[in-house]
Structure 1
Amino acid sequence: MRCSVFVCCAILLSTCNSQLTEVKQMLNNTSLHTGLSEKIGNFSIELLYHTTQAQDKIANLIISPITVWTILAVIAEGADEQTLAQLNRALRLTPRLKDETQKEYQEIVKWLQVKTTTVELQKLNSMFMDEQNTPQRDFVEAARGYDTHLISVNFSDPNVTANSINNLVSSVTHGRISQLVDSSNIADSKLILTSVLYFKAQWTVSFNSSLTTKQPFSDSTGKQLGEVNMMYRRHTYPFANIVTLQARVLEVAYGKDNRLSMLIMLPNPGVSLNEMFYNFGNVSLDTIFDELKVSVEQYGEDEIDCFIPRFKIESSLQLNDALKRMGIVDLFDERKARLPLMSYLPVHVSQIIHKAEIEVTEEGTVASAASAAEFSNRISSVIRFEANRPFCYLIIEKVTNSIVFGGVTFFWSVC
């Protein structure tokens, strides 16, 4: 008899007003930007692209790629044969470097726990296992290497198990995501992996709500789709036109030390989001930040007229199709899945769900090919950055260059 493994993630971004006192010395140290962090970043961009493509209809979305990477990395510790090979390819993992990968992950994850007066970032990975089906000891130890904790529950009572999981998720997300699973998700499962991420921060420089106005929002060809409440601020934001990306990039910082920030990537007029995502294969996050740094050094006193929508997005995603597009196929096939190191019973992954919400307001967020940068029209004039057409946004933890959240927008209605 085969049983299914049910995998789920939950993330939340919300608004906060406070002050931050965070250590700054690591922000100039790029030692954590390469190796595993770079691999996770590449996975994150690919996942965001394929999740967008796998939707039944075009829709705005928010996702936390690093929570998905973490869960799949834990599953890979229990996998074998083609199931393992497919996971390793998608996750950019090298089997012979397992111990090194876990050590690198532990270095990264310690920076994903922030609790200050203006920024809070909390992450919790858990593995709910049927108390009648104890997992293999080596797998439990490997899961701990990815900061994932084992919780024993009684799967014979789906309601109790669902409540246990939902209570944990609700606690981490401060009650904002109260139901990640229900009893129907539990019925045929023997193992449930969860990864929960909570983010709450204030902009370093807030927007003035009295300057928010209704403005048109168009598609990449210029056709108007609707209206949006457009926030406005004139400030010396880091800004660059990344030629290889075919997009303009603006960085909006959180807190007092620029530890986390939102990158808003606006494709050039006539360039679609799909084209911009394709160009990411030739542009690294370090390259983007380097170009933004150059912009600050050369044009640090130039002001930017920044227009970005005030928005709220809620996503309830089923990631099976997106991951299959990334080559992870056997994991979801009851006949082909090979997870012998995970459980004594034959198991496969039935579905991976991801629930998230983000709210961006005037106060903050609720919830190597060569590249060239262009800084045209930055002499004696104010640059206008207007996110009034489809764009991509990434929330970055800058010590590790981790994409903790990412999303795309296609259309808006006034909110």
Structure 2
Amino acid sequence: MWLFLCFLIVGIHSNTYCYERNNQSVRNQNERGQENQNLPLKIVGNSVCQFACCFYKEISSLENNRNIFFSPLSISTAFAMLTLGARSDTLTQILRVLNFNPREINENEIHEGYRQLMQMVKSSEGFQLNMGNVLFVLDQLKPQEKFLSDLRTFYEGEAYPMNFKRADQAQVNINKYVAERTNGKINDLINNLDPLTEILLISYIYFNAEWQKPFNPKYTKTNKFFVAGNKAVEVPMMFGMGLFNYGYDEQLSSTVVQMDYKGGASAFFVLPDQGKMRKLEKRLSCEHMSKWRTLVSKRSLNVYIPKFTVSGTYDLKDMLYKMGIVDLFTDKADLSGITGQPQHRISQAIHKAVVKVDETGTEAAAATGMEIVPMSVPLTIAFNRPFLMVILLNNDILFMGKITNPLKED
């Protein structure tokens, strides 16, 4: 069974200061007529992909030898939600880092694109996917009606009053809310909640799907995974044989294997040639990922993939600051669209994602699959050294990561 859990936690603290409104906001730069109704979805999907690549490269430059796993869709959606209440430079910076060009799409179309994307993702059948956004607001604050209305309309978001000054009880209530919406998989998301918090934004995505072609557990054997050079660890290695979607990306010097889930989502496992991981990471782009679907074709393979559970926890404040979202985390922040006054800034932004990869399904179910394969010697592909993993649904990126050591969960 596959299991993905992603969370974005953003805490907003009170901060009093004087701020002169910048009237050259993106909000007023782009007046456009009626566009094709599918265009916002396409542009937002592409922007999420561009953000994924930029965010991945930022992480990999800092954590070259660690596992990486995150949901660009979860992060992008949460910060797009914040633009409903962001103004002036704060707004401009968020949209720029989310890879939106104001000459290409206006704000209303951006929010409409996210609405369409979330609707498409949540309406998919054949697997379980829960995605949601919620604001816990200090009970003394009264968020603007327009902000609340837009939150519901575009992001299916809700705002709940919360007494953060009683931090222990607030923490219990928030953790209970998250646990209920993630099937009890995450029970203690929030720890040491700051009693000065005024607004807490939680964006979560939960994905649970089965392989179209499950692995048979009886063929899973312990084998070596080379974490660095000749240094190896012993891991449970799954084995599958038959027809798989396979291709070789010459420009990235990487082998690509596509494995489909029931319901239409796909996982791309990308194995760079020996010593070519940095080349792959440096050249990784949306264009390459889009090409993978046409690059791969059915081929008789023997495939070895490790079982693993990997999580990634990231302080988005530092990373997004480096990427260009500067004012949001300082006294220059303007989030007056939320509360009516520019008196708040983001003090905390944490993203956590977890992925579990195993054979999926019972041994009996796994053993029932039969297929006709060409009478040729199968190619053997062993993911026994660091590789990339990208989870897509209809070409939209749900998750992205790098497995450098399957035995390390964080």
Tell me the SS of whatever aligns to 1:303: strand
TM-score, normalised on structure 2?
0.81
Letter in 1 for 2:84: E
Choose which of 382, 398, 408 in structure 2 pairs with 1:386. Answer: 382
- Pairwise CA RMSD: 2.6
1:200 is matched with which residue? Answer: 208
Identity of aligned residues (%): 26
Question: Counterparts of 2:123 and 2:205 in 1: how far apart (Å)?
Answer: 11
User: Aligned pair in 2 of structure 1 residues 114, 5: CA closer, same or farther (>3 Å)?
Assistant: closer
Question: Which residue of the other structure, out of 339, 345, 349, is the alignment partner of 2:346?
Answer: 349
1:279 to 283, 299, 305: 283
**Alignment correspondent of 2:399:** 405
1:143 is aligned to 2:137: no
> Which residue does 1:254 correspond to in 2?
261
**Consecutive unaligned residues in structure 1, runs of 5 or more:** 8-29, 365-377
Cα gap change, 1:50/1:381 in structure 2, threshold over 3 Å: closer, same or farther?
Answer: same
Read off the aligned partner of 2:293 and give its amino acid letter. Answer: F
Structure 2 gaps of 5+ residues are 1-8, 13-37, 362-373
Instruction: Name the SS of the counterpart of 2:170 in structure 1.
Output: helix
Q: Kindly state the Cα deviation for residue 219 of structure 1 after the two structures are TM-superposed.
A: 4.1
Question: Which residue type is aligned with residue 390 of structure 2?
Answer: L
Report what 2:225 is aligned to.
217
Q: Who is 2:139 aligned against?
A: 131
Q: Closer, same or farther in 2 for the Cα pair 1:276/1:32, shift >3 Å?
A: farther
Q: How many residues align?
A: 360
Q: Does 1:313 align with 2:310?
A: yes
Counterpart of 2:336 in 1: which secondary structure?
coil
Residue 193 of structure 1 aligns with an amino acid whose one-letter code is: L
2:241 alignment counterpart: 234
Matches within 5 A, 1:99-118: 99-113=108-122
Q: Does 1:289 align with 2:284?
A: no
For 2:382, the aligned partner's letter is E
Distance 1:357 1:123, change over 3 A: same
Q: Are 2:77 and 1:70 aligned?
A: yes
Per-residue Cα deviation, 1:190-215 (whole angstroms, up to 9, x for no partner): 11111111111111111111111222
TM-superposed deviation, 1:31: 7.9
Q: Per-residue deviation at 1:380?
A: 4.0
- In the superposition, relative to structure 1, how do residues 336 and 266 fare at CA in structure 2: closer, same or farther (>3 Å)? same
**Which of 264, 270, 273 pairs up with 2:269?**
264
Against the structure 1 CA distance between its residues 139 and 53, is the aligned structure 2 distance closer, same or farther, given a 3 Å change threshold?
Answer: farther
Give the letter for the 2:378 counterpart. Answer: V
Residue 41 of structure 1 contacts residue 403 of structure 1 at CA under 8 Å; is this kept in 2?
A: yes
Structure 2 CA distance for aligned equivalents of residues 46 and 226 of structure 1:
30
1:18 matched to which residue of 2? none
1:60/1:410 contact within 8 Å kept: yes
Equivalence for 1:21: none
Deviation for aligned residue 1:186: 3.5
SS in structure 2 at match of 1:156: coil
Return the TM-score normalized by structure 1. 0.80
Distance across 1 between alignment mates of 2:406 and 2:337: 46
Paired residues of 1:113 and 1:123 also in contact (CA < 8 A): yes
CA contact (8 A) 1:332 1:349 kept: yes
Amino acid at match of 1:363: T
From 329, 333, 338, give the equivalent of 2:334: 338
How far, CA to CA, are the matches of 1:203 and 1:157 in structure 2?
A: 45
1:5/1:347 contact within 8 Å kept? no
Measured in 2, the distance between the counterparts of 1:205 and 1:31 equals 34
Question: Within 2, Cα distance between the matches of 1:203 and 1:109?
Answer: 23
Give 1:6's aligned amino acid.
G
What secondary structure is seen at the aligned counterpart in 1 of 2:66? coil
When residues 282 and 413 of structure 1 are mapped into structure 2, their CA distance, relative to the original with a 3 A threshold, is: closer
Report the Cα distance in structure 2 between the residues aligned to 1:413 and 1:99, rounded to whole angstroms: 44
Q: Is the Cα contact below 8 Å between 1:162 and 1:186 reproduced in 2? A: no
CA distance in 2, matches of 1:233, 1:342: 52
Structure-1 separation of matches of 2:240 and 2:210: 15
Q: Is the 8 A contact 1:249 1:263 kept in 2?
A: yes
2:242 alignment partner AA: H
CA drift at 1:113: 1.6
- Distance change (3 Å), C-alpha of 1:33 and 1:60: same
* Residues 327 and 361 (structure 1), Cα distance of their counterparts in 2 relative to 1, 3 Å cut: same
CA distance in 2, matches of 1:339, 1:32: 24
Asked whether the equivalents of residues 316 and 354 of structure 1 are also in contact (C-alpha less than 8 Å), the reply is: yes
Judging changes above 3 Å, is the alpha-carbon distance between structure 1 residues 345 and 327 closer, same or farther for their aligned structure 2 residues?
closer
* Per-residue Cα deviation, 1:211-265 (whole angstroms, up to 9, x for no partner): 1122221246x4233222111101211111112232111111111x5x1111111
CA drift of 1:140 comes to 2.1
The separation in 2 between residues aligned to 1:264 and 1:191, in whole angstroms, is 38
Equivalent pair of 1:245/1:283 in contact (CA under 8 Å): no
Q: Which stretch shifts more, 62-71 or 40-49? A: 40-49
Matches of 1:414 and 1:337, distance apart in 2: 37
